[in-house]
Amino acid sequence: MSAVPQTDEIPEPAEGASATLELPFRAPYDWPRMLRFLAGRATPGVEAVEDGAWLRAIDFNGASGTLAVRRHARKRCLVAQIDGPVSQHAAALAAPLGRVFDIHANPAAIAEGLGADPWLGPLVAAAPGLRVPGAWSGFELVIRAIVGQQVSVKAATTIVGRLVERVGKPIEGHPHARTAWRFPTPADLAAADLTGIGMPGKRIAALQGFAAAVASGEVAIERQDAAAGSATLDAMRAALLALPGIGPWTVEYVAMRAWRDADAWPATDLVLMQTITARDPALVRATQQRARTDAWRPWRAYAAMHLWNEIADRAGAARGG
């Protein structure tokens, strides 16, 4: 289903201009779990989840503004409130927002592909509208993935917040403190002094090497064409994997969330490996697990989300909610 932007044309948006964009989806859609995932990984100062909405300040086609995305109370759509000069591009924002919130997913097809699996069937039944959360910026997601290597989600969030404060730019006069920063540009991040930021030297080198490669145009990290075929994705994977300090886990995680590859599979993810081994102790290594996970093609990214979600649900239950 294509997003059908519904917005009034605003010929010359000023600072106080705004527009509303509706993004239809196929039901069911698990909005609470989408927000839970994004909230746990929101970059401090840049993104926030509050009162059932995802918030962010953006720059798009030379204009700036803010986004607030919620689920419509009655209709099968998400609603994006776009404020500021960027509202003149409301129709064009449908595509990137559709990727962030996975509105083009077909839950029926995913359930048909995964629902008969003895491991995944119960998980799909418990969360039939689960989506693969995307990312506003592929560059930001890779930075997040590099920072998150071998550390917890919470620790990675803390370090990314430090990067924003040290290298990013505050937005003057922004009314919302939790989204009042712009993420560092590739060039600024490549040239920054990151001493004492909280990462090992090799990881800093990998992060800045990646930023330099993006700044120079050596590596294209944003998937511009949603219809691009497997050859394009293979080339993007190869270019990213060729950079020092970036391994298959990072590449597949980015393919899942930034490049919208429904069959991406981060095979060496520790949580995924452990949950598979818990179901079959004979499957310990990623190479041993491959035959089992190949059965989930072409929906392995959604399989990963269901397995991660099971852990998150259990953790929530352990905390009492």
Question: Would you list the domain boundaries of the chain?
Answer: 1-104, 106-125+262-321, 138-257
Taking the model in full, what pTM does it have? 0.91
Which helix H or strand E contains 208, and what residues bound it? Answer: helix 201-216
pLDDT for res 150: 82
Pick the CATH number of 106-125+262-321 from 2.40.50, 1.10.3090, 1.10.1670, 1.10.357: 1.10.1670
pLDDT recorded at residue 317: 63
Report d(CA 260, CA 245) in Å as an integer.
23
Whether the pLDDT of residue 59 is over 80: the answer is yes
Q: Tokens in use for 147? A: 């920072």
Cis peptide bond N-terminal to 96, omega within 30: no
Please state the rounded mean pLDDT for residues 270-276.
Answer: 96
Q: Which tokens sit at 99? A: 């990727």
| Residue-wise pLDDT tens digits, 154-201 | 999 999 999 999 999 999 988 898 999 999 999 999 999 999 999 999
pLDDT (tens digit, 9 = 90+) per residue, 39-50? 999 999 999 999
What's at 307, amino acid-wise? L
Task: State the pLDDT at residue 16.
Answer: 77
Cβ atoms 10, 63 nearer than 8 A: no
Quote the pLDDT of residue 227: 60
Tell me: cis bond preceding 298? Omega within 30 of 0 counts: yes
Q: What percentage of the chain reaches a pLDDT higher than 90? A: 85
Predicted local confidence at residue 225, as pLDDT: 66
* Ranges assigned E (strand) in the chain: 18-24, 47-50, 53-60, 63-71, 77-83, 169-170, 181-182
Query: Is the per-residue pLDDT at 319 higher than 60?
Result: no
Instruction: Report the distance separating Cα 239 and Cα 128, nearest Å.
Output: 35
Answer CATH for 138-257 from 1.10.3720.10, 1.10.340.30, 1.10.10.10, 3.30.360.10? 1.10.340.30
Question: Is CATH 3.30.310.20 the classification given to domain 1-104?
Answer: yes
